[in-house]
């Protein structure tokens, strides 16, 4: 039964009931809740309930020095933390008028794309688990860990890299890093057919995912859907291309799209994006050795650093969609206001509520995972 056919009655019959879906529920990504009203096992309406991961980031950032915030920002989105660091650093650079050395920009792109790979691999695992397939999850997480090993080598941290700093990056690549990265990319590419067999061409996935959580391009635009979820509705729209930042305009990559607009399309888009990220990383491996120069523009002593008054809105394409960072300075030692637009603020609330409506209960988890909703981004 679709939602439009549903008429609420004065006294709900017994087959109509409410369910707390989360926060402690294996079908929920992160610590998040969805209150669903069911008619049988059809969702009549759903309402997101967030705040379980609320830390008051924006308030916290107003209380810390500009430099201190670099440790805080990656924590806003746990599965894909790197874009947060880059976005914050870029915003501060814009406010200060700092020119980031070219090599730092390339290193940042490298970090972003590696982070995208980790996020997508994680996504495959999560999505597979919601369809009852645990093997892709085991694979995805284990392969993601190999990328994390490289992160550890490059940045000293596995997940929270804290690699960026306004002005550039903190460390240059260690010796032999590019070779190892190249080998890893070869390995990941060789793994893809295996993933295909197990997951992407799996009859179970296709049957479960096709038509699940389907939205039209029009709806997607209306709900401010961004990133792979938007591209899964057939619109070639990517911040990296439309509003290029760092050195993305020097890199060759395609923007994969799918037409279906459903969970399957969203998964396939991400699979193609993984390939594109590998392609971008290959170009970086080729170009990086020829780009010399410093990795960080000199910044003032962090303890005596007033960032000039002004505002900056930085947009970035994270693995989940458009990331927006609005940073306001009043010329002081601390940000006056930071506002984070996580892509999931749209996906996990409005879009999820709308897509869940009319779907079956068992599909809700899949819809949420297929949207790659990241609750900490909503809660901040």
User: What residues numbered 355-374 form the site for other proteins, per CB under 8 A?
Assistant: none
**Which CB sits closer to other proteins, 101 or 363?**
101
Question: Considering the complex, what minimum distance in angstroms separates the CB of residue 281 from other proteins?
Answer: 18
Question: Considering the complex, what minimum distance in angstroms separates the CB of residue 370 from other proteins?
Answer: 14
All residues at 6 or more sequence positions from 8 whose CB lies less than 8 Å from its CB, including other chains: 44
The β-bridge partners of 164 are 169
Q: Is 238 in the site for other proteins (CB under 8 A)?
A: no
Question: Considering the complex, what minimum distance in angstroms separates the CB of residue 113 from other proteins?
Answer: 19
Q: How many CB atoms lie within 10 A of CB 194?
A: 11
The β-bridge partners of 120 are none
| 374/342 Cα distance (integer angstroms) | 9
The candidate with the shortest Cα–Cα distance to 172, out of 109, 217, 107, 83, is 107
Window 43-82: residues binding other proteins (CB under 8 A): 45, 47-56, 58-60, 63-65, 67-72, 75, 78-79
**Which CB sits closer to other proteins, 290 or 301?**
301
Question: Considering the complex, what minimum distance in angstroms separates the CB of residue 67 from other proteins?
Answer: 7
Q: At what angle do helices 102-130 and 263-287 cross, to 10 degrees?
A: 150
∠ Cα 15 17 19 (to 5°): 140
Of these, 108, 116, 320, 334, which contacts other proteins (CB under 8 A)?
A: 334
| 109/111 Cα distance (integer angstroms) | 5
Question: Considering the complex, what minimum distance in angstroms separates the CB of residue 104 from other proteins?
Answer: 11
Window 165-194: residues binding other proteins (CB under 8 A): 170-172, 174, 192, 194
**Which CB sits closer to other proteins, 35 or 282?**
35
Question: Considering the complex, what minimum distance in angstroms separates the CB of residue 176 from other proteins?
Answer: 11
Q: Is 103 in the site for other proteins (CB under 8 A)?
A: no
The candidate with the shortest Cα–Cα distance to 227, out of 134, 342, 332, 145, is 342
| 340/14 Cα distance (integer angstroms) | 43
Q: Is 347 in the site for other proteins (CB under 8 A)?
A: no
Q: Please, where are the H alpha helices in 131-170?
A: 135-155
In this structure, what are the phi and psi dihedrals at residue 104, rounded to the nearest 5 degrees? Answer: -60, -40
Can you tell me whether residue 256 is helix, strand or coil? coil
Q: Is 308 in the site for other proteins (CB under 8 A)?
A: no
Window 2-21: residues binding other proteins (CB under 8 A): 3, 8, 12, 18
Window 122-151: residues binding other proteins (CB under 8 A): 122, 125, 135, 137-139, 141-142, 144-145, 148-149
Can you tell me whether residue 207 is helix, strand or coil? helix
Of these, 1, 40, 132, 156, which contacts other proteins (CB under 8 A)?
A: 156
Q: Is 211 in the site for other proteins (CB under 8 A)?
A: no
């Amino acid at each position: 039964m679709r939602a439009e056919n549903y008429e609420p009655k004065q006294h709900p019959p017994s087959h109509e009931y409410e369910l707390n879906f989360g926060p402690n529920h294996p079908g929920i990504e992160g610590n998040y809740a969805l209150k669903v009203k069911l008619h049988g096992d059809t969702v009549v309406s759903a309402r997101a309930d967030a705040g379980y991961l609320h830390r008051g980031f924006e308030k916290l950032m107003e209380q810390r020095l500009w430099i201190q915030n670099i440790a805080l920002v990656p924590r806003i989105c746990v599965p894909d933390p790197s874009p947060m660091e880059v976005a914050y650093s870029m915003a501060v650079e814009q406010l200060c008028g700092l020119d980031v050395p070219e090599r730092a920009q390339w290193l940042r792109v490298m970090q972003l794309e590696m982070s995208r790979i980790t996020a997508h691999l994680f996504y495959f695992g999560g999505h597979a688990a919601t369809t009852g397939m645990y093997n892709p999850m085991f694979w995805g997480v284990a392969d993601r860990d190999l990328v994390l090993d490289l992160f550890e080598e490059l940045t000293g941290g596995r997940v929270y890299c804290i690699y960026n700093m306004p002005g550039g990056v903190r460390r240059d690549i260690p010796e032999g890093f590019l070779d190892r990265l190249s080998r890893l990319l070869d390995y990941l590419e060789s793994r893809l057919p295996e993933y295909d067999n197990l997951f992407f061409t799996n009859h179970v996935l296709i049957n479960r995912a096709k038509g699940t959580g389907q939205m039209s391009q029009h709806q997607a635009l209306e709900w401010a859907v961004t990133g792979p979820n938007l591209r899964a509705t057939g619109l070639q729209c990517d911040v990296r291309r439309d509003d290029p930042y760092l050195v993305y305009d020097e890199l060759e990559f395609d923007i994969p799209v799918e037409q279906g607009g459903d969970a399957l399309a969203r998964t396939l888009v991400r699979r193609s994006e993984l390939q594109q990220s590998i392609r971008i990383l290959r170009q970086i491996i080729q170009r990086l050795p020829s780009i010399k120069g410093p990795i960080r523009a000199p910044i003032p002593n962090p303890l005596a650093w007033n960032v000039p008054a002004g505002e900056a809105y930085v947009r970035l394409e994270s693995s989940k969609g458009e990331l927006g960072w609005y940073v306001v300075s009043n010329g002081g030692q601390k940000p006056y206001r930071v506002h984070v637009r996580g892509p999931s603020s749209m996906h996990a609330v409005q879009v999820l509520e709308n897509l869940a409506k009319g779907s079956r209960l068992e599909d809700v988890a899949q819809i949420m995972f297929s949207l790659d909703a990241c609750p900490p981004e909503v809660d901040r």
